[in-house]
Amino acid sequence: METKNIMIVGVGGQGTLLASKLLGRLLLGRGYDVKVSEVHGMSQRGGSVVTYVRWGERVCSPIIDKGEADCILSFELLEAARYTEYLKPGGRIIVNSQQINPMPVIAGTAAYPENLAEKMEGMGINVDALDALALAEEAGSSKAVNLVLMGRLSRAFDFTETEWMDAIEQSVPSRFLELNKKAFELGKNA
Amino acid sequence: MKTLMLGNEAVARGLYEAGCSFVSSYPGTPSTEITECVAKHEEVYAEWAPNEKVALEAAFGASLAGKRSFCAMKHVGLNVAADPLFTISYTGVNAGLVIGVADDAGMHSSQNEQDSRHYAQAAKIPMLEPSDSAEAIAFAKLAYELSEKFDTAVLIKMCTRVSHSQSVVETGERILPEQKKYEKNPGKYIMMPANAKKRHPEVEARTKALAAWAESAGINRIEAGSDKSLGILTSSTSYQYVKEAFGDTYPVLKLGMIWPLPEQKIRDFATSVDRLVVVEELDGFIETHCRNLGLTVSGKELFSNIGELSQNAVKEKLGKKVQTGPSMDENIPARPPVMCAGCPHRSIFYVLKKMNLTVLGDIGCYTLGAVPPLGAIDTTVCMGASVSGLHGFVKAGEKESAGKTVAVIGDSTFIHSGVTGLINIAYNESNATVIILDNSITGMTGHQQNPTTGYNLKGDPCTRIDLESLCRSVGINRVRVVDPYDMETCQAALREELATEEPSVIISRRPCALLKYVKHPGPICSDPEKCKGCKACMQIGCPAISMADGRAKIDTTLCVGCGVCEQLCKFGALGAKQ
């Protein structure tokens, strides 16, 4: 099979690393060769963060290059728009419609572009936008955005409910398990 | 069993399996997790040292005492540890000594992009370079064999993409070698001129022996290709990009040991292909070596010595088409890293900016004080350079800079190498004011303990270095502590210390807002009736405050209620929820 590529992008501190760990665990369980590449350090402080998840028969490079991503899972709207060049033809974007202003916008030196989801659709990109923050809050915590988005992404895979739940159980602290499971279901079914 | 493992975690696993028993390191992205992961094994003694020089010397001591030892650092940390490194090359080891160094091509989290491979050649120490996590385990184990067989420390060179990528590994059992006996051996361990002169030829002979070993070593392997019009010489993550771009099309000589290089193997490989290309990140290290061998080779004329490579970079330069996705016809604002909401550094930088001071900065989260709208830092060079630089600046600037210049340095960085600069300030009597930003943790690298926190790497309570006493004991009479959240007091303290005619230290003390034990009052709210839209609160660059319809708006998912913005609002529009 051809190597599959998912880019997980967002703002440092949003929990993108947990999403990539969870996905990596599931894919390995299916017997694929898997590589997950993360960025630590300075950009984790509210900067733009990117994680690459790749799987197939043999995966060499740990990173996804421009024109290679089957899917961009974005935790924030502007971050989805930043990385459209990484999509391969026919690639799609799943995006949390939440807007988090970057410092140049907060400081008033730049504007947050309007109607980004519509504009990306206008470029012929398959865009699935959802208000993951509202769903996470419905599940009980604004911090559960990552599980809402994992739920949404799960529609694109043929993993069983049990496989997902096992992976979630291994990836989140037990006291937040029910909350995270609920967030996952909300994202999946919204 | 197959598992996914981060490259750094895999190095740690390799250390564990090789029976490494002593680890001393200083944290630094992208190397930090090696030490954090190995510390989880009870059988391994692991510690954070105050700096990389101390760490390497401690690891050397442990090797001398007969235990396999290890020390990790980032690329710039190796500069700090370079002094012992060059002479440990002469002494050799007793039990195996392995040094992990992680480069940061692309500067994801570093102040420069130096290529650590030069150190291997310069210090005459062998260097292994894994390209994924499975190799990281295998190479860590091999490093100990080489270390003991050839009587040398061994460097393992990581890079961000190998350190911070998870790939599939299979783990093995720990095999603990018997502790070696320490035997007094002045000719080997006392590097005074007479002895060192005798050791140097042995170092040269060792490098020759290692080069001979490299010729037949399995880690320097030729992978056959169907098209011999091109042969690629590569290593590390560049190897993965080459394989991703071209699969098994071209023959590849994959180097697992980057120093010393297998000359005959490289010559034979060059002869077997029509054209030889070196694919390597940063400097043309392998390429230069090929040229020294008289080989015709291309490398840096194709691949930049700036930043990271990728599969597309390899494809483009070697004649394969790349198709990128659609780009937006839109100005996408950058999203630089920022100080977190509630960060205790923010308010201090606001005060420094307001007072229009020249600020010599240092390495840590607080380097973000350089970013607008705060923009309150003038320099950032290396660990400790703020304090020592301030001394020179104040001495040379005389009346011009007196009372207008300060240094800022974090608690961990101060212990690392700021304290020696402070000793110089006291000893050579400059009228300098140093601000220690004590957030009670090593922040940027992800919350490591340090000698001022009272906890060790394993999380156990331990001796706490008292910063006030330390500063006083080196000869600073004026030492005071302020709460950075209280900006008025901070400003008054600064005014007073800058006005006095002797050196002083202000400790700005408040724990990092992200520490789990820190309890926050909770988000405040803004009153749109009272807000006049003056944007005074926007001057601190807090990610939780933005303007909406001309009024300040608080993002309650980010705001922790530090109260700093409230001090800036003249209209009482910001405050605790009613």
Q: Which letter does DSSP use for residue B372 in this model?
A: T
Residue in A84, A107, A108 closest to B327 by CB? A84
Q: Report yes or no: B267 and B295 within 8 Å, Cβ to Cβ.
A: yes
**The token pair that represents B137 in the structure block:** 């385990």
Q: Quick one: pLDDT band at residue A144, thresholds 50, 70, 90?
A: very high
Are the beta carbons of B241 and A69 separated by less than 8 Å? no
pLDDT (mean) for B125-134: 98
Are the beta carbons of A35 and B312 separated by less than 8 Å? no
Kindly report the nearest CA distance between residue A96 and chain B, in angstroms. Answer: 15
Scanning A43-82 for CB atoms below 8 A from B yields 43-48, 59-63, 65-69, 78-79, 81-82
- The predicted pLDDT at position B477 comes to 98
Instruction: Please check whether residue B29 lies inside any domain of the structure.
Output: yes
Instruction: Please check whether residue B265 lies inside any domain of the structure.
Output: yes
Chain B residue with the nearest C-alpha to that of A37: B165
Chain A CB contacts of B333 below 8 Å: 78, 102, 104-105, 110-113
- The predicted pLDDT at position A164 comes to 93
User: Is B426 found in the same domain as B280?
Assistant: no
- The predicted pLDDT at position A41 comes to 63
Helix axes A16-29, A161-171, angle to 10 degrees: 130
The per-residue pLDDT for range B439-479, each reduced to its tens digit, is 999 999 999 999 999 999 999 999 999 999 999 999 999 99
Of A119, A109, A155, A187, nearest to B372 by C-alpha is A109
Biggest alpha carbon–alpha carbon distance for chain A: 49
pLDDT (mean) for B264-284: 98
User: Is B28 found in the same domain as B153?
Assistant: yes
Query: Could you give the CA distance from residue B377 to residue B364 in angstroms, rounded to a whole number?
Result: 13
Are the beta carbons of A113 and B330 separated by less than 8 Å? yes
A122 touches chain B (CB under 8 A): no
Scanning A82-101 for CB atoms below 8 A from B yields 82, 84-89, 91, 100-101
H/E/C letters for each residue in chain A? Answer: CCCEEEEEEEECCCCHHHHHHHHHHHHHHCCCEEEEECCCHHHHCCCEEEEEEEEECCCCCCCCCCCCEEEEEECCHHHHHHCHHHEEEEEEEEEECCCCCCHHHHCCCCCCCCCHHHHHHHCCCEEEEECHHHHHHHHCCHHHHHHHHHHHHHCCCCCCHHHHHHHHHHHCCHHHHHHHHHHHHHHHHC
B321 touches chain A (CB under 8 A): no
Task: State pTM to two decimals.
Answer: 0.97
Q: Report angle CA B222, B226, B230 to the nearest 5 degrees.
A: 70
Instruction: Please check whether residue B98 lies inside any domain of the structure.
Output: yes
Query: Could you give the CA distance from residue B345 to residue B435 in angstroms, rounded to a whole number?
Result: 11
Q: Count of domains in chain B? A: 4
How far is the CA of A41 from the CAs of B40, B45, B365, B434, in angstroms? Answer: 21, 25, 10, 26
Please state, rounded to an integer, the average pLDDT across all residues of chain B: 97
Are the beta carbons of A79 and B165 separated by less than 8 Å? no
Is residue B398 scored above 80 in pLDDT? Answer: no
User: Is B189 found in the same domain as B48?
Assistant: yes
Which of B216, B234, B267 is the endpoint of a domain? B216
H/E/C letters for each residue in B517-544? Answer: CCCCCCCEEECCCCCCCCCHHHHHCCCC
- The predicted pLDDT at position B24 comes to 98
Helix axes B419-427, B385-397, angle to 10 degrees: 30
The per-residue pLDDT for range B53-104, each reduced to its tens digit, is 999 999 999 999 999 999 999 999 999 999 999 999 999 999 999 999 999 9
Is residue A25 scored above 60 in pLDDT? Answer: yes
3-state secondary structure of B150: helix
Q: Quick one: pLDDT band at residue A58, thresholds 50, 70, 90?
A: very high
Predicted ipTM of the assembly? 0.95
Residue in A40, A110, A111 closest to B164 by CB? A40
Q: What's the CATH code of the domain at B421?
A: 3.40.50.970
Q: Which domain holds residue B532?
A: 524-577
- The predicted pLDDT at position A157 comes to 86
Instruction: Please check whether residue B327 lies inside any domain of the structure.
Output: no
Instruction: Please check whether residue B330 lies inside any domain of the structure.
Output: no
A118 touches chain B (CB under 8 A): no
B548 touches chain A (CB under 8 A): no
Chain B CB contacts of A49 below 8 Å: none
Q: Report yes or no: B52 and B77 within 8 Å, Cβ to Cβ.
A: yes
Q: Quick one: pLDDT band at residue A43, thresholds 50, 70, 90?
A: low
Kindly report the nearest CA distance between residue A35 and chain B, in angstroms. Answer: 5
- The predicted pLDDT at position B223 comes to 98
Which of A28-32, B55-59, B86-90, B375-379 bottoms out in mean pLDDT, i.e. has the lowest? A28-32
Residues 6+ apart with CB under 8 A from B184: none
**Which residues are B259's β-sheet partners?**
B127
Are the beta carbons of B167 and A34 separated by less than 8 Å? yes
Helix or strand (DSSP H, E) at B70: strand B69-74
3-state secondary structure of B252: strand
The per-residue pLDDT for range B507-516, each reduced to its tens digit, is 999 999 999 9
Instruction: Please check whether residue B188 lies inside any domain of the structure.
Output: yes
User: Is B468 found in the same domain as B378?
Assistant: yes
Instruction: Please check whether residue B335 lies inside any domain of the structure.
Output: no
Which of A95-109, B9-23, B139-153, B409-423 bottoms out in mean pLDDT, i.e. has the lowest? A95-109
- The predicted pLDDT at position B533 comes to 95
pLDDT (mean) for B318-339: 93
Cis bond leading into B30, ω under 30°? yes
Chain B CB contacts of A89 below 8 Å: 323, 325
3-state secondary structure of B81: coil
The per-residue pLDDT for range B275-328, each reduced to its tens digit, is 999 999 999 999 999 999 999 999 999 999 999 999 999 999 999 999 999 999
pLDDT (mean) for B258-277: 98
The per-residue pLDDT for range A98-138, each reduced to its tens digit, is 999 999 988 888 999 999 999 999 999 999 999 999 999 99
Q: Quick one: pLDDT band at residue A38, thresholds 50, 70, 90?
A: confident
Instruction: Please check whether residue B340 lies inside any domain of the structure.
Output: no
Kindly report the nearest CA distance between residue B72 and chain A, in angstroms. Answer: 16
A4 touches chain B (CB under 8 A): no
Q: Quick one: pLDDT band at residue B531, thresholds 50, 70, 90?
A: very high
Kindly report the nearest CA distance between residue A177 and chain B, in angstroms. Answer: 19
Q: Could you give the domains of chain A?
A: 4-129+166-171 (3.40.920.10)
Is residue B578 scored above 60 in pLDDT? Answer: no
Kindly report the nearest CA distance between residue B271 and chain A, in angstroms. Answer: 27
Which of B299, B317, B335 is the endpoint of a domain? B317
Is residue A40 scored above 80 in pLDDT? Answer: no
User: Is B366 found in the same domain as B241?
Assistant: no
Q: Quick one: pLDDT band at residue B519, thresholds 50, 70, 90?
A: very high
